[in-house]
Amino acid sequence: MAKNSKRTRQPLTEEERAARRERDRKLAQDAVQQLTSTDGWKAWLKTRGAFRAYSLNNQLLIALQRPDATRVAGLKRWLSLGYCVRKGERSLLIWQPVPPNTKQLKQWRDAGADPATKPRTRFKLGPVFAREQVDPLPAPAQPAPLDPPIADLTGEDLADAWAPLTDLAATLGVTVTTTDAIPGDGRYTPALKTIEIARDISVNQQVVALTHELAHALVREDRRDDDPTLTYAREELVAESVAYIVARGLGFDPAANSIPYLAAYSEQTGPDAWQQIAALTDRLAARIENALHTEPGQPGSSAAAVPAITPTSDAHPHGREAIAA
């Protein structure tokens, strides 16, 4: 049985609790630290594509502990989906909500039910397993299908995405046109508020190019006070990362090689700044995903085949749970 899922009725000693807090703190710190390397950023991007409904903190924890993971769920959840965790597999830890128990709620009600002191849901690190660690249960169990469809980059099945994306551009005051007059796949011109997309590429490639240019537009037009200031190289990294995330959500497996990591990483920055850049990337991708109505579990979403695995308690908004200080 996996180590982290060991059940114990014995309350932890003070020492054990301190050790666990230290472990949690270190894990959370390492999860953010990984963003400071190109490989760590890649691992997060890949994870973000598959775990879009998870908070940034949990995406980072999964990327750190199991960068190949495409789904995670607790033991019981896997059983209800028709899978069992293989013997000897070690769990990974992610933040999970711990709602107040009935006793706490009763005490609060008995004390006058003051809204200001209502017991709140806390988060603690709890064990989950990746789909790579489970096997389908034998019949009569009917394991839920887990593989999202993979779309062809040269195809036209994303034609429906064009209208919602141009609508999103319109809400930013940006006009989208197709043209033969640009060198690459797409171009955003802030001064004119225009996005031009190449006419001679496939529809699916046009959609990917449009998400890239939309990310550039959102960086400027959807700016928040606490957003990091981006150099040219970093804005390019954000735009390409957003396009990558959205494409994966739409069922592609785009090449991550085109992402201009090197230039962005040649500029020295600490983990906090990278976490801010990741949070911005995550938010802009979510904005485009929401425009496409590919909520987790909807057709077109990477989670389409397994809506039930996405824990609703960990849905948007992102980053809700605090990393334990």
d(CA 147, CA 153): 18
- Measured from the CB atom, is 55 or 281 closer to Zn ion? 281
d(CA 324, CA 322): 6
Cis peptide before 296 (omega within 30 of 0): no
CB of 83 to Zn ion, least distance (A): 40
- Measured from the CB atom, is 116 or 191 closer to Zn ion? 191
Cis peptide before 317 (omega within 30 of 0): yes
CB of 245 to Zn ion, least distance (A): 15
- Measured from the CB atom, is 122 or 187 closer to Zn ion? 187
3-state secondary structure of 121: coil
- Measured from the CB atom, is 93 or 238 closer to Zn ion? 238
The DSSP 8-state label assigned to residue 113 in this structure reads -
CB of 160 to Zn ion, least distance (A): 24
Other Cβ atoms within 10 Å of 177 Cβ, number: 11
List helix spans (H) across the chain.
Answer: 14-33, 38-50, 56-65, 75-80, 102-110, 159-171, 203-221, 232-249, 261-265, 271-291
- Measured from the CB atom, is 125 or 239 closer to Zn ion? 239
CB of 266 to Zn ion, least distance (A): 17
CB of 242 to Zn ion, least distance (A): 10
- Measured from the CB atom, is 72 or 214 closer to Zn ion? 214
Tokens of 36: 């400071």
Max distance between CA atoms of the chain, in angstroms, equals 72
Element (H, E) at 317: none
- Measured from the CB atom, is 143 or 260 closer to Zn ion? 260
User: Do 134 and 83 meet the contact criterion of CB atoms below 8 Å apart?
Assistant: yes
CB of 218 to Zn ion, least distance (A): 12
Of 47, 79, 45, 78, the C-alpha closest to 65 is 47
The DSSP 8-state label assigned to residue 222 in this structure reads T
- Measured from the CB atom, is 184 or 270 closer to Zn ion? 184
- Measured from the CB atom, is 207 or 239 closer to Zn ion? 239
CB of 216 to Zn ion, least distance (A): 6
Of 160, 146, 126, the C-alpha closest to 310 is 146
Q: Which residues bind Zn ion (CB under 5 A)?
A: 236, 239
Tokens of 284: 């802009």
CB of 92 to Zn ion, least distance (A): 34
CB of 153 to Zn ion, least distance (A): 18
* Residue 102, φ and ψ in degrees, nearest 5: -65, -35
Tell me the residue number closest to Zn ion, measured at CB.
Answer: 239
